[in-house]
Amino acid sequence: MKITATEIADVLLIEPDVFGDARGYFFESYASKRYAEHGLSIPFVQDNVSLSQRGILRGLHMQSPPSAQGKLVSVLAGEVYDVAVDVRLGSPTFGKFTAKYLSAENKHQLYIPPGFAHGFCVTSEEALFTYKCTEYYDSKAEISIAYDDPALAIPWPIEKPVLSKKDSEAARLADIPAERLVRFTGGG
């Protein structure tokens, strides 16, 4: 397994070891011992799966403390453009984002620590997206940040994404009360 820091050091790109032959392939999508060997001792408590069609954009989502979630995300079928935005108060990369294409073909994963808003846009006909979370979903803690917030300037790969009602009404980052954001403590 290869783990590389992205443009924002606390967001990690994970490339699992893939073993393939004429029959197909095999890889460990998660093994706590192996991740711990690489410094990622992460207590995941909930797994989620979503299926979306081309052009669907989900996000930018996060949860406020104490329910802030870290996420390990990947794609089982199709491809997405995956985005993590640092919204940790006091972070040197506050308001900055990193984006990677995740696909069934490349089998890459992203680890996104608590304090980041997360979203993805489907670039294939459909995508089966999976994510492990470090905290349970809490509707009262949920925050949605506008995917097209001009202060973030995220270059999404499609011009007119299909959004949920919640995402189409999301606030700009500047309008999120500071007490709802995670405070930067020097690491993920």
Q: Please list the active-site residues.
A: 61, 131
CA atoms within 13 A on the CB side of 45: 9
Nearest alpha carbon to residue 140 among 39, 88, 66, 79: 66
117 forms bridges with which residues in the sheet? 85
Phi-psi region of 24 (alpha: psi -120 to 50; beta: other; left: phi over 0): left
Collapse the DSSP code of 184 into the 3-class scheme (helix H, G, I; strand E, B; otherwise coil) and give the result: coil
Given a contact cutoff of 8 angstroms between Cβ atoms, the answer to whether 16 and 109 are in contact is yes
